[in-house]
Amino acid sequence: MRKALEEFPKPLNVYSMHDGAHALEFFRKLSSQEITVFPKPHLIFMDLFMPNGNGLALLSDIKRRPILKDIPVIVLTNSVNLADIKESYKLQASGFIRKSFDFNEFKSQLFSALSYWISTVMLP
């Protein structure tokens, strides 16, 4: 993902969490304003399946926090399970993208989502 993001034509500030526990800790600190080094994200991409965490639980946690609930969260996963798609949208995901195993196709999917959320949509 990082390689694809480096090729995006607009500059991006990218912060990555390598497991669910770190992501949960980051978002909890961000919502309590303990973190001052990183700005509030404009867009979150997350997988449903991550080490030390559950993506649906993390999505639910993000959407319960007043400072974070308006941030679009795009689920980017290998899951083709219809229940995962339905539950993601029920928990207020802004999109659900199935990762392609082909890098160029994956990059195209990622760029489409980024272009939409960065250039088209007006966010608060």
Per-residue pLDDT of the chain (124 residues; tens, 9 = 90+): 888 888 888 888 888 888 888 888 888 887 776 655 667 788 899 999 988 889 999 999 999 988 888 889 999 888 889 999 999 999 999 999 988 889 999 899 999 999 998 888 887 7
Q: Is residue 6 part of a domain?
A: yes
Q: What's the pTM?
A: 0.85
* pLDDT for the residue numbered 13: 80
Q: Is 24 within a domain? A: no
Helix (H, G, I), strand (E, B) or coil at 73: strand
* CATH code: domain of residue 55: 3.40.50.2300
Residue 35, in any domain of the structure: no
Containing domain of residue 69, as a range?
2-10+40-118
Is 32 a domain residue? no
Tell me the residue length of the chain.
124
Give the position of tokens 């990622």: 110
Gap between the Cα atoms of 40 and 12, Å rounded: 13
**Looking at the 3D structure of the chain, how many domains does it have?**
1
Task: Check if the beta carbon of residue 84 is closer than 8 Å to that of residue 116.
Answer: no
For residue 101, the number of C-alpha atoms closer than 13 Å in the C-beta half-sphere is 1
